[in-house]
Structure 1
């Protein structure tokens, strides 16, 4: 009589193969769902269990925020997430394509094209990639909240870390889905403000209308003056580097304001920013080695539409007449 030999995990060969095939099938169906712009089946199944109260809800709310939501008739539904692992184009190739499209004189070195006379510039293709990655993460966050029947997602945070493979990044968006005593909506509102601040905004007559975000990616080309300054023995400001940070920030904030205006907002709250700088050593010729920089600035906040006349939330002095 033949027996199936068990491995250290306690599974026979046939059981292990069945488990691997099931995992492969699940992965293929999840990828197909992402390609259709949907969430995987296992995410939808978990959401259905939460709606039917078969699973406890989770959140990143504090005790004070939870109590305040209950006081004003708002109910947390659960913590929701959206994520994407996104391949980012190599900045060298992006810069080379921009130079060729501009019709400038290009010189090749180290496998890349650089226009020596183009100077510093924005990397538009990389900016578009960052927008798309954040949009994918936020849309999946919104879709998961919609499965729970949410009206809004508060405390939205976007985290960016290097991806699991080379030249990739992992974008994760998280927040707490909440529901109000209102008719259901197709697309829940996303906002960076906390649950407590969300209640205060609504009570004050201000309406959050959505997220506003902006990205600026600037390629700074160092000149001989920058090289000389970097090797100086005295303290001094690196003006070219300072300008690169300002350029990237200005671009990001300008785009954030534009997004806020397009969504009907006249202000941005809970404004968060992030700055990343990548140093790039470039050889322009024999003995001409310079340190350039890729500066990325990210800005995100909650666009609101507010009225000049709103409820006064200042505490009132009350003297009891009861004896």
Structure 2
């Protein structure tokens, strides 16, 4: 089957629209749920309606400003000797140059999530469980990445429909436990932060081969500030959804070393280095709900004493 016409990135891609329409016509569904997950979601009143996915390929340019993405922001980067002021941590959430990189990475993930959610709606689903987010280099294009999210769309057996589909990283069993405990998933969230810190004189002294056992305080500051920023970003997203909290599913931290672009801009022969940390949190915003319960009925008590039973009859 050939798809004609140019897609403008609005709504479902033509191939996805055709696939979901065919699935609804046939009335059959597919999923990546295990037997246990399938049984679990049915136990809380949901049925699978089909496997759904969303993809987006983004070009990530090589620089976000004159300093590029990983500008440490350290004024003494070209010369950091004894007595120099400690280097700060340039964090994306506080307006560092890496913010433009974080923005495009989050935009790509949100585009993939929106397309997966649109497939769920096209299948008549109420939400998506076991959603898995991945990012991989796009073949033969060094600055392009494919962002993909795949999960299983589910539908409640009752007549009540949510105002918009929910998305969650929780698997079938986790979703069932959440519902049974009086909570509902709202939205799959991604908190991303990038921090950059120059290896100043103190950091180099604490890390040299003869330093002995001690904390490298600058690197502790780097990972702490970056993780804190990622938590703040996912917390902001949860607040905007109106949820009560976030159930975290994955927490990752990448650290690598870069040539200090600020120092090399001032001195092309500089060997100064920066360390970069990237923190990623994946979780689901959740909200509590209450179920109205009927008041317990009073039970009729019958005495086990035969004399008392005869007395009641007479």
Aligned match of 1:67: 39
Aligned match of 1:319: none
Say whether 1:41 aligns with 2:14. Answer: yes
Q: Distance in 1 between matches of 2:268 and 2:183?
A: 61
Deviation string, structure 1 residues 235-263 (Cα, Å, up to 9, x no partner): 43322122111111101111111211221
Deviation string, structure 1 residues 137-192 (Cα, Å, up to 9, x no partner): 11111111111111010111111223331223221111111011234556311111
Q: How many residues are treated as equivalent by the alignment?
A: 273
Which is bigger in relative contact order (C-alpha 8 A, separation at least 6)? 2
2:170 to 193, 201, 204: 193
The TM-score, its normalising length taken from structure 1, stands at 0.73
Deviation at 1:46, TM superposition (A): 0.8
SS of aligned partner of 1:46: helix
Aligned match of 1:12: none
Q: Distance in 2 between matches of 1:192 and 1:161?
A: 19
Say whether 1:177 aligns with 2:147. Answer: no
Q: Distance in 2 between matches of 1:244 and 1:184?
A: 45
Aligned match of 2:231: 253
How do residues 73-112 of structure 1 correspond to structure 2 at under 5 angstroms? 73-91=45-63, 93=65, 95-96=67-68
Q: Distance in 1 between matches of 2:90 and 2:52?
A: 37
Distance change (3 Å), C-alpha of 1:82 and 1:186: farther
Contact 2:41 2:173 in 1 (8 A): yes
Q: Distance in 1 between matches of 2:18 and 2:289?
A: 41
SS of aligned partner of 2:271: strand
1:275 to 253, 258, 263: 253
Structure showing greater Rg = 2
Moved over 4 A (4+): 96-99, 104-108, 116-119, 183-186, 307-311
Deviation at 1:288, TM superposition (A): 3.9
2:277 to 272, 276, 295: 295
CA RMSD, Structure 1 to Structure 2 (Å): 3.3
5+ residue gaps, structure 1, are 1-21, 109-115, 312-323
Distance change (3 Å), C-alpha of 1:149 and 1:94: farther
SS of aligned partner of 1:300: strand
